[in-house]
Structure 1
């Protein structure tokens, strides 16, 4: 079990579109100095638009776990995964809006991602009040949605859960009540994750669930959306999904693969 997550998630890292493209025709400062330059390696998502939202941020770190005497802050890991996901989508020709942004913290390869309060909502300070904070990001998504002309527009929310330390969880997924397309995308991601687990750990299985949930951000954003909880920040096994950079990248790769499948079915 100790090597389980690293071995499985790293199995996806043989994708041709690695983290260091040799071409430098495209540049996104939010990715940080090391990863800002990237190459568009395919047109598989050309014409698609995405609104990527990492949980919490600014004055709110989200849930906090302990790992080898250090703190793990939800907002930092959710943001790193969101950046990696956005980079993979952009490498496939997609248009991406990063709703939560940090001008300094790009994609990071460290195990412990230091916490900061620099995150903004597209340049605007994030309120401490929960309702105001959630409404702000919903407004940002909806504002961009109204401007975009794409026929395929999807929002992706990424969070990290907090449960009892002995509660190991697989990644699980929510969609808005009554959203058939949201459910379809969530199911596609679930199937993709299950197939990867079946390939690399056939005796382990994958128990990540898909369900509808009346969350504020799902209820108040216009585009079809999926909400992911990527693990229990308190659980030692789930923490490996977060602290190992290759695992964070693999999560982004798997989600991207599922989105490509969903896009082809549109």
Structure 2
């Protein structure tokens, strides 16, 4: 078994305790919650550091592990700063495990974007901002999914063990709006840093490739949703659907492009 595969499996298993702890009936932000969250962060972070220590990798698997790492960091911060975000642990953990499985399966896929030397300052800023944006919108999308599950449970009058743990619909919507506001600001920084990178490399402000177009579309969707929310008070399923649409666009623009170039082509 290769060292890379061993680290990947270890990182995947590191995500499981936090997910299982999230299903506790009388859970909370106690020592066990934070300890398992620290383990969940340590696994993917160790994999990422080891893989990037030799040369910068731009393939699908490293991108997914970077997404997992960023999402855990953002979720930990959100859980520490808000009262109800800790209740999302089962959904956040379960979704990140799915991403980890995909990353593990495609870990040895050949990369069309080969390993390169350490990126420059603007490229580094752009990468950090882009991954942070995707992490923020990931947690917002999980909040939207939680709101959808709660609405369905209320409508059918059949709550499940999961919906009894998740935040209320109101708390989910409040949380995802906060995350989207921050995500929109960080996404704007990402677009600005991307322009700086393009100017430095090709002397053009914007490259109209698939990633750029989908990122701009995401920026417009999130901006329109926030504008509608603050002006007209739109909420409920409309908010949920638009958040998931924004996440789909961002997914197509970030790991989606890497999947096409590294796996399909």
**Which one has more relative contact order, counting CA pairs under 8 Å at least 6 apart?**
1
TM-score by length of 1: 0.30
- The structure that is helix-richer by fraction is 2
Normalized per residue, which structure has more strand?
Answer: 1
- Structure with higher Rg: it is 2
